[in-house]
């Protein structure tokens, strides 16, 4: 009996040992299968996932408007991929997947038959797509989450923000300019005002449509410190879908921010620089008179007024009110060519603004050749090239007491003494004088459409012929297309807002009928948003005028 019990016990031990041996053998076989037979498969598969997601160790910093609204954030998205060797019935799977994902069936089938162990199918699936894929239970088809850049405002401020490419690097706009800081996890708070930016984009989109412009632009600046409150462009793009725009050369240029990168001849919005320079040197006064004969002969060239009009005796204030080209030449001549060039340099037209985004600038070497005709045409804004930001920077000096400021998009900690003021170009008295003259342009000149009840508004229109070269045509001279613009500021005697509206080749005669109405509407909205107190009582003003 004892012998039988020992045999049973030994048998049980042998059975358990055999089971353990078989289990270990199974593990060894599985490891051999995974590491040796399928080792390369899983290695490449894993590497493919790493390349596709490639998330940085530090989460990228985010970007916000001044009041906290998000412009660029990080968000989890689900993507779908295939491991072709594990796909069963590729044709049927491709047919069903194409229907779920709204993709071409042939394209999906090609990806499922790809000679690879990892084949991405689609990024950023919707909730409905994720649910349908899970319910279908495809073999060899997988879902995975990854964190990506997301722009919740869509196309709003697209040229300002730029985008992040698949390799995690910022491209264009702030994403590129501040790439190092963002990549290290630092978030940015902008000077851009969400409401002003939104209003500006809506208005120029409408102007672009109604006036059939090639492009439209609006920039709003605080002239006291250079803070950029809005920078809008139309046409625009959606940075969430930047790859679609990158497919064509004509849409790639939408990534550029024209406010800082496009050079143009400003036209008559430039005249206040000529006038203020001559006033600052004591060469002219607002009431100084000259006789306009409608033409100035310079060598073999003729300088004419718009429409070849002649105005007779006019004051310097009336030169700005009526935008008289020959009057600008007169003021420049009183100042002298050398001094005129020095002032343009001091106003920053031969240097970059230093704004914290990619920018171009021209040294205006053609103007600097010193030909008399070049100085003459430059006095009314033809033959010199500037960017919108250079123009507004110069205007800041005109209206803030004479100081050239440092434009900035991103908020920074600034010293109390305001180092944004780089240098004083004109005296504060000159600044006060030019503001009064530009108020008179609105009150008595051709820009009455800019008036807003209760407020003193100041500004100047500009209608400049565009060169053939501006359109990429290798031909000298000017086309019949124009750049129409308006630069205005308010409240006029204590400016808080400086606005540029610029329309490229609109279907309108002059800026009075194109850019000016856009300025008027945007200015009304800004005054309402910021609850700026009126300069005077409208009812009292009406009773005094009776």
How confident is the model over 241-297, as pLDDT tens digits? Answer: 999 898 888 888 899 999 999 999 999 999 999 999 999 999 999 999 999 999 999
How far, rounded to the nearest angstrom, does the alpha carbon of residue 181 sit from its chain's CA centroid?
Answer: 19
CATH number of the domain where residue 253 is located: 3.40.710.10
Residue 136 lies in a domain: yes
Q: Where residue 304 falls among pLDDT bands split at 50, 70, 90?
A: very high
> Containing H/E element for 127?
helix 127-136
User: Where does a domain end: 158, 173, 189?
Assistant: 189
Which whole number is the average pLDDT over 115-129? 91
Q: Which of 22-36, 102-116, 357-371, 395-409 has the lowest mean pLDDT?
A: 22-36
State the total domains in the chain: 2
CA 52/CA 50 separation, integer angstroms? 5
Residue 29 lies in a domain: no
Q: Are residue 102 and residue 212 in the same domain, yes or no?
A: no
Which whole number is the average pLDDT over 459-468? 89
Residue 21 neighbours by CB under 8 Å, 6+ apart: none
Res 165: pLDDT: 92
Task: Please provide the average confidence, as pLDDT, over all residues in the chain.
Answer: 89
Residue with tokens 């310079």: 298
Residue 112 lies in a domain: yes
Res 328: pLDDT: 98
CA 272/CA 268 separation, integer angstroms? 8
Highest mean pLDDT among 54-63, 123-132, 134-143, 337-346: 337-346
148 vs 546: which has the higher pLDDT: 148
pLDDT in tens, 16-30: 555 556 655 655 455
DSSP single-letter state for residue 378 = H
- Is it the case that residue 447 has pLDDT exceeding 80? yes
Which whole number is the average pLDDT over 489-508? 96
3-state helix, strand, coil in the chain (%, to 5): 45, 20, 35
Residue 154 lies in a domain: yes
Q: Are residue 259 and residue 126 in the same domain, yes or no?
A: no
Highest mean pLDDT among 107-116, 215-224, 409-418: 215-224
Q: Are residue 165 and residue 302 in the same domain, yes or no?
A: no
Highest mean pLDDT among 32-41, 77-86, 392-401: 392-401
Q: Are residue 154 and residue 287 in the same domain, yes or no?
A: no
CA 136/CA 145 separation, integer angstroms? 19
Res 329: pLDDT: 98
Res 310: pLDDT: 95
Q: Are residue 91 and residue 202 in the same domain, yes or no?
A: no
Res 412: pLDDT: 79
Q: Are residue 64 and residue 116 in the same domain, yes or no?
A: yes
Which whole number is the average pLDDT over 295-314? 93
Which whole number is the average pLDDT over 152-162? 97
Res 250: pLDDT: 81
Which whole number is the average pLDDT over 456-469? 90
63-64/188-189 β-pairing? parallel
Q: Are residue 467 and residue 528 in the same domain, yes or no?
A: yes
CATH number of the domain where residue 166 is located: 3.90.1310.10
- Is it the case that residue 38 has pLDDT exceeding 80? no
The answer to whether the beta carbons of residues 485 and 387 sit under 8 Å apart is no
User: Where does a domain end: 144, 159, 189?
Assistant: 189
- Is it the case that residue 34 has pLDDT exceeding 60? no
pLDDT in tens, 41-86: 444 444 444 444 445 578 999 999 999 999 999 999 999 999 999 9
Q: Are residue 317 and residue 268 in the same domain, yes or no?
A: yes
* Proportion of the chain above pLDDT 70, given as a percent: 87
Res 51: pLDDT: 45
Residue 393 lies in a domain: yes
Q: Are residue 325 and residue 205 in the same domain, yes or no?
A: yes
CA dihedral 517, 273, 464, 288 (to 10 degrees): 90
Q: Are residue 202 and residue 88 in the same domain, yes or no?
A: no
Residue 13 lies in a domain: no
* pTM for the model: 0.84
- What is the residue range of 157's domain? 53-189
Res 30: pLDDT: 52
CA 130/CA 80 separation, integer angstroms? 9
Q: Are residue 339 and residue 426 in the same domain, yes or no?
A: yes
Residue 499 lies in a domain: yes
Nearest-Å Rg of the Cα atoms of the chain is 33
Q: Are residue 115 and residue 205 in the same domain, yes or no?
A: no
Q: Phi, psi at residue 499, to the nearest 5°?
A: -125, 135
User: Where does a domain end: 131, 162, 189?
Assistant: 189
Residue 337 lies in a domain: yes
């Amino acid at each position: 009996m004892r012998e039988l019990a020992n045999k049973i016990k030994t048998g049980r031990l042998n059975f358990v040992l055999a089971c353990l041996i078989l289990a270990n053998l199974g593990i060894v076989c599985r490891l051999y299968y995974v590491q040796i037979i399928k080792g390369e498969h899983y290695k490449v598969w894993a590497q493919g996932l790493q390349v596709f997601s490639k998330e940085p160790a530090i989460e990228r910093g985010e970007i916000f408007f001044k009041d906290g609204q998000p412009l660029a954030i990080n968000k989890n998205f689900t993507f779908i991929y295939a491991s072709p060797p594990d796909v069963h019935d590729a044709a049927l799977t491709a047919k069903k997947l194409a229907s779920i994902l709204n993709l071409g069936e042939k394209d999906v089938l090609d990806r499922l038959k790809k000679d690879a162990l990892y084949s991405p199918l689609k990024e950023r699936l919707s909730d409905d797509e994720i649910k349908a894929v899970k319910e279908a239970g495809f073999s060899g088809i997988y879902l995975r989450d990854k964190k990506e850049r997301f722009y919740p405002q869509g196309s709003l401020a697209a040229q300002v923000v730029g985008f992040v490419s698949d390799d995690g690097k910022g491209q264009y706009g702030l994403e590129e300019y501040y790439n190092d800081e963002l990549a290290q996890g630092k978030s940015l708070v902008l000077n851009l005002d969400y409401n002003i930016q939104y209003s500006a984009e809506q208005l120029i989109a409408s102007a672009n449509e109604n006036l059939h412009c090639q492009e439209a632009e609006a920039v709003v600046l605080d002239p006291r410190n250079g803070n950029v409150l809005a920078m809008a462009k139309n046409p625009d793009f959606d940075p969430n879908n930047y790859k679609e725009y990158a497919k064509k050369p004509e849409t790639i240029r939408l990534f550029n921010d024209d406010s800082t990168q496009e050079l143009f001849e400003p036209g008559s919005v430039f005249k206040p620089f000529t006038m203020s320079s001559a006033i600052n040197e004591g060469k002219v006064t607002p009431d100084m008179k000259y006789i306009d004969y409608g033409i100035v002969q310079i060598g073999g060239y003729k300088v004419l007024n718009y429409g070849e009009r002649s105005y007779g005796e006019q004051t310097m204030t009336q030169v700005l009110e009526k935008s008289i080209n020959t009057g600008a030449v007169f003021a420049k001549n009183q100042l002298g060519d050398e001094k005129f060039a020095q002032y343009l340099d001091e106003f920053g037209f031969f240097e970059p603004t230093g704004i914290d985004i990619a920018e171009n600038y021209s040294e205006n070497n053609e103007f600097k050749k010193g030909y008399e005709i070049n100085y003459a045409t430059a006095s009314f804004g033809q033959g010199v090239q500037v960017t919108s930001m250079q123009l507004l920077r110069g205007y800041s000096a005109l209206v803030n007491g004479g100081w050239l400021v440092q434009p900035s998009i991103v908020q920074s900690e600034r010293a109390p003494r305001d180092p944004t003021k780089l240098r004083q170009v004109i005296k504060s008295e000159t600044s006060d004088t030019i503001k009064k003259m530009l108020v008179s342009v609105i009150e008595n000149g051709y820009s009455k459409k800019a008036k807003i009840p209760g407020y003193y508004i100041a500004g100047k229109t500009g209608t400049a012929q565009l060169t053939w070269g501006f359109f990429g045509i290798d031909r000298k001279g000017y086309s019949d297309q124009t750049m129409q613009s308006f630069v205005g500021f308010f409240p006029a005697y204590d400016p808080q807002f400086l606005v540029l509206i610029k329309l490229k080749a609109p279907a309108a005669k002059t800026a009075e009928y194109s850019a000016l109405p856009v300025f008027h509407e945007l200015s009304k909205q800004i005054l309402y948003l910021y609850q700026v107190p009126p300069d005077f009582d409208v009812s009292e003003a009406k009773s005094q005028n009776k």
